[in-house]
Structure formats: C-alpha cells, structure tokens
Amino acid sequence: MFTSALNPEQRAAALSALATEEFDILVIGGGVNGVGVALDAVTRGLKVALVESQDIAAGTSSRSSKLIHGGLRYLEQYDFKLVREALHERELMVSTQCPHLVKPVSFLYPLTEKVKERTYVGAGLALYDALRGFKRALPSHKHLTGKTIANISPSLRQDIITGAIRYFDAQVDDARHTMMIARTAARHGAVMATNVRVDNLTRNGKKVTGVVATDLKSGKTLTIAAKATIMCAGVWSDELHQQFGLTPGYSVAMSKGVHIVVPQSAIHSKDGIILKTAVSVLFLIPWGDKWIVGTTDTPYEGDRAKPLATQEDVQYILDQANRVLEPKLKTEDIIGVFAGLRPLVANNAASATTKLSREHTVDRPAPGFVSLAGGKYTTYRVMAKDAVDLAVLDLRRIVSDSVTEKLPLIGADGYFALQQQVLKIADDYNISEATVTHLLDRYGSLISEILEIITADPSMAQRLIPDLPYLKAEVLHAASHEGALSVEDVLLRRTRISFEASDSGLSAADTVAEIIGETLGWKSADRKNSVQSFAKVISEEESALKALVNS
C-alpha cells in the first residue's frame, strides 16, 4: 500500500498532502525521537506527518557515540530505572528490532588496584547485568587477569593495569538507524518531508491546530492542519517554544560531546575500552578499521546548528586516553573529529550538565501541542510512546496502544537468512563477500535495492573511495530511496565518509554530486554549489584539529 522510499517524487507528493490534508499527528523534527514518534503514531492507525528543517538525523542523532547502551555511569547516580529501561531496549534492538544495524561490542574496564576497585566495579557490572532481566541477547561480564589483558589489549599500559572486567553493550551507525526508523514510518503511511521549516503555530482559541511552515527548496509557505502537534526539537526546544509563544514546564541545557577518529593501528586491542574520568567516562570504540574516541561533556551555549570541537576538547580526549595507552595517541594519528549536542532537561539554569539526568520529559504547554526532550538515544522508542500517549488525548477518541516494542524495522525481516547466503549473493552479483556483509549490515534485507542498482549499471559496484567500503550504488540509493538532497547529506549522514576518510571525503564530493545530480534534477550550478557547501562544513568542523596540529 505504501512505499518506504524517500526521494524527490515522494517529497513532492508529501508537500501536496501537507498543504491540503488534515493530520491526526504532526511531528516537528527528524531526529531519532521525531521519526520514532512518527513510527509509533502511524502504527497505531493514525494519520501522521513529519517535517524537518534540515535532513533526517541532521543534529544530535548523527553525532552520538554510536552506542546502544544502558548507561553504566548512571548506576553511580542511582538512576536504576533509566538503566533498566535502556538495557531492555538494547536487548530488543540486538535480537529482533534491528539486528542488521545494532551489533554487540565488548568493552574492557581496566583496573589499577587489585582488590577494592575490582570488587566495586565488579558489583556495578553485576547489577548492570541483573537489571536487563532474564531475556539476554548479550553475554554477562567476566573478570580478567593482568596477564590476559596483555594479550587482549597490548596497548593498555602494563605498568599500571592490574586486570580488567569485560562487559558487553552494542553499537550502531546512529544516522543509518534513524533513517531506517524514518523509512519504516513511511512504509506504514507517514507523510515525511525534509527541508521544511516550521515558522509558527496556528490556533483556534488556545488550542494549537497546526503550523505555518516554509518549504526551503521553493520558498513557498505551507499551512499544515493537525489535531495534535508533537515537537521533538532536541536542543532547539527552548528557541522554538519561545518563537511559538509557549511556556513549557522545563528548559533544555546543552552539553557538547566531541569525538576523535583514529586508525585501527593507533590502538592495539581486540576489545573496546571504557575509562572513568573526573567528570564523565571516555570510550575507545572499535569502528570498522578505525577507533572512535570520546566523549567530552561540557556546557554549550553556541550555535545549535554548528557545534564545533575546540582545541581544548581534542586535547582533553587525547590526555584522558593517554593515561592508560602505550604508545600514546598523537595529534597526527587523528583522521577526523565531530561534535554533537546532548539536550538535557534542566529544572534549574545553574545545573551542571554532567549532573543532569538523561531522563526524558513530555510536556503539554498548550492544548493540541506536546513537546518531548531529554532522554538517551537508546530509549527513543519509549520516549516516542510516551509522547504519543499524551498527544492522543487531544484526538478525543479511542486510540490503540503502542505496538513498536514488537515491530521490527525494515531490513530486519530475513536478515539472519541472508547472512547464510553471503557467498551466493557475492557470486550472483560479482561482488566480494566483504561487500555483501557491509551491505547487509547497513540495509539488511533492503540489500535488494542496492543490488538492483548494480544490476542496471555494474559500474555502480565500484567503491566511491578505494580504502572505504561504500559503493557508488549507495550514493545513488541515498538520493533515490533515502531522501538525500545534497552532497552533505550523503557524505555526513547516509555514509560516514566525512569522519572516516583521511580527507573527510572532499576528493569524492564531485563524484557524489554527479551521481545524485540526475536523480535530483540538478544543473551544473547546483552540483557546484552543493560541493562548495559541503567543503565549507568540513573546513569548519576541522578547525580544532588544525589549530592543535599548528600549535
């Protein structure tokens, strides 16, 4: 009945529907919470629309630590409810909801003291395991000796590390996961449009009846009617509440998290590593043939649209990691850097961001309007359910309960069977087994969409960049099926080339513009402008790294 493909034709149809139809639920925001709300609402049988001013996952949802985890650090804050909730969601994702996207990853918690520290940390990890309940998709924690650690993680300093405890969490490409939630919502009938900015609300008395928005591609104004509007604006929440003339029961404090990316050769370890710091924790996370190292946790009051790493941020990460690493990480090792903002619910403007809970808040500042903020990426589904539960009160009719706990995302269906057919698929389409595995772990059973592109044009099976696994077919697919409207969309979010490539993907930008240009109906000037816009973004994001190298 519905298609999950997001492309120019779908966007045009969506704009038409937005201007002419009334929706039960209108969602503002295309981050993980926004698309999660759209999926929750549409699978209850509601008529749903979503608008996003930039791109799907353009903000925080593409700039996280890429972990699906319970939040080990929150045990020290006695936030057992949040940890239990997050662990339950982690188990669902790994086992049934999206096993093609969310993968187990093991971490070492290094110990520097033989008895007291091991007892304390071991008790915490035992509680961490216990809080996930009886249905367990991941192994339990295990104590390891110093001798074992020397073999597993040679980069850990043997002069101070006496042993470690290994535990498991999971990791995900956050932008890809958010996109697959969006496409699942579209598959069930949600009307979705990016590059649509909400300027104001429409009202009938005190009740919010929809929004006035602008299509940023054409400049046209849209009036969108909805019985209930749910805002999932993350760090933009305060700004939009003020713009809409609403007084919410909370405010959002922004905390900046910075990560660096280094090659696999820079850290010799079979497992990831977690370190406790004075203010937070630091993760050393395996990411393909690279490592992601971070994060910082500092108050932020700058441009919400362009959070940038500073020289101090990068130096902090290096200093914290180098407390336990030998050889030490060097500035020259760094391939890429990215920064994101955590939207933390604050009751007091003076609260330190590192002390704020990751609990979420659902608020109804006006009839017909609900806003959602806070929480963790891992618990997006629970937050979405809570927001829809509150918003449907304005529909004044019986609405079905949420079904997303038992709803796999698109691509999950048949994934485990396809894993057994890697060799056959490789032979049939004349591509490597490694390429098939790469595609399955990004698209699951939707690999068929990529293979159709390769069948039509075998040259699309070529890699975009020789030392990275992304195919040219994936670039075309980004525009034809995943709503990409710019070079930036492709290189920053549909792929992760912007922080995985040594040149941040600049050498591939012209090729990307050429591939997606036909689908998007671009002229030569459009291609040039999109490439230049991407180059500007990369230049700004790498400013901290350049400053550190030159200092």
Q: What is the pLDDT of residues 100-140, one digit of tens each?
A: 999 999 999 999 887 777 887 888 888 878 776 666 778 88
Q: What is the CATH number of domain 102-169+253-353?
A: 3.30.9.10
Instruction: Evaluate if pTM is beyond 0.85.
Output: yes
Other residues' Cβ atoms within 10 Å of the Cβ of residue 25: 29
d(CA 295, CA 280): 8
Cβ atoms 55, 33 nearer than 8 A = no
Q: Which helix (H) or strand (E) holds 124?
A: helix 116-130
Domains 8-61+176-249+360-406 and 415-549 share a fold: no
Domain boundaries, the chain: 8-61+176-249+360-406, 102-169+253-353, 415-549
d(CA 231, CA 26): 8
DSSP 331-397: GGG--EEEEEEEEEEESSTT--GGGS---EEEEEEETTEEEEEE--GGGHHHHHHHHHHHHGGGGTS
**Quick one: what percent of the chain has pLDDT higher than 90?**
76
CATH 3.30.1120.80 matches 415-549: no
470-481 as b/e, with b when 16 or more CB fall inside 10 Å? bbbbbbbbbbbb
Q: What is the pLDDT of residues 417-432, one digit of tens each?
A: 999 999 999 999 999 9
Indicate the class that CATH gives domain 8-61+176-249+360-406.
Answer: alpha beta
Using the predicted structure, report yes or no on whether residue 356 has a pLDDT greater than 60. Answer: no
Q: What is the pLDDT of residues 247-292, one digit of tens each?
A: 988 889 899 999 999 999 999 999 999 998 887 889 999 999 999 9
Phi first, then psi: what are they for 460, rounded to 5°?
A: -70, -10
| Residues in contact with 293: Cβ distance below 8 Å, sequence separation at least 6, in sequence order | 259, 260, 261, 262, 282, 283, 284, 285, 317, 321, 329
